[in-house]
Amino acid sequence: MNKKIIIANWKSNPDSLEEALRLAAHAEAATRRVRGVEVVIAAPFPFLVPLARMLKKVSVGAEDVFWDTGPYTGEVSWRQLKNIGINQSIIGHSERRLYCGETDEMVNKKILALLEHGMKPILCVGETERSGNEIPESVGKQLAVALAGIKKSFLKNLVVTYEPVWAISTMPNARPDTPDNAFRALVYIRRILSGLYGRKIADAIPIIYGGSVNAGNIEGFLNEGRMAGALVGGASLRPKEFVEIIQIASRA
């Protein structure tokens, strides 16, 4: 059985390295006590090297990456990440799309750069609005453009996150998603991937859920929703709750 994937997305938190190391230590201790879970901490750039040096059971990833090195002020390239031992990154998170104007074409360049060089992209896709039970075609378009030109042989390192923006608690008029809706999204995304690469490859790509994940709803998304894991935002900054999420995932 494949391990459940639990990814902490710290966003622009915490304020100090001391606090980052304290948070990570709780996750490390919890991961040592369970089986069947792969835990990743996606942290701000200043904390990546210290975290990677400290953590043994928990992996460390970036929250974003750029596809090249050169005259790109403020960007951090895949080469720089790889050279400090970081081999995975979130790509296309809704907040990058919203606040930084990141497009599907930019997401595609980032994914291609990582996959071509043996790194792991954690691709986020999801709709901003939902009416009814149908998953909008915009999610399929995000997937198709993000993966354009990607060879089948690269996909063993890909993780897809379904992230319904309307369910994120920090968004206006947010409302909680349900395991049933998450399962619909899983089926839809799997169908799009099957059309692009065939069913065998599509079935091997982990699809995880992101969107106001907490200790109270994680079990439903993993069991009834059939998700391979979760991208955890605010709850990953609450040590006791994140430990509980890891423990629940180990039993799912």
Amino acid at 95: E
d(CA 92, CA 196): 19
| Closest by CA position to 63, among listed 119, 12, 117 | 12
DSSP state of 5: E
d(CA 101, CA 111): 17
Exposed/middle/buried for 181, CB within 10 Å: 0-12, 13-18, 19+? buried
| Closest by CA position to 246, among listed 230, 234, 233, 224 | 230
**Considering all CA atoms of the chain, what is the largest pairwise distance in Å, rounded to the nearest integer?**
47
Is the distance from CB of 196 to CB of 150 less than 8 angstroms? no
Place of tokens 């790109």: 72
d(CA 146, CA 113): 12
State the catalytic residue, choosing from 28, 95, 102, 163: 163
Catalytic residue status for 93: yes
For residue 165, the SS3 value is helix
Q: Parallel, antiparallel, or unpaired: how do β-strands 229-232 and 4-9 relate?
A: parallel
Catalytic residue status for 244: no
State the catalytic residue, choosing from 93, 95, 102, 127: 93
List all residues 6 or more positions away from 130 whose beta carbon is below 8 Å from its beta carbon: 136, 164, 166, 181
First to last CA, the chain: 11
Catalytic residue numbers? 93, 163
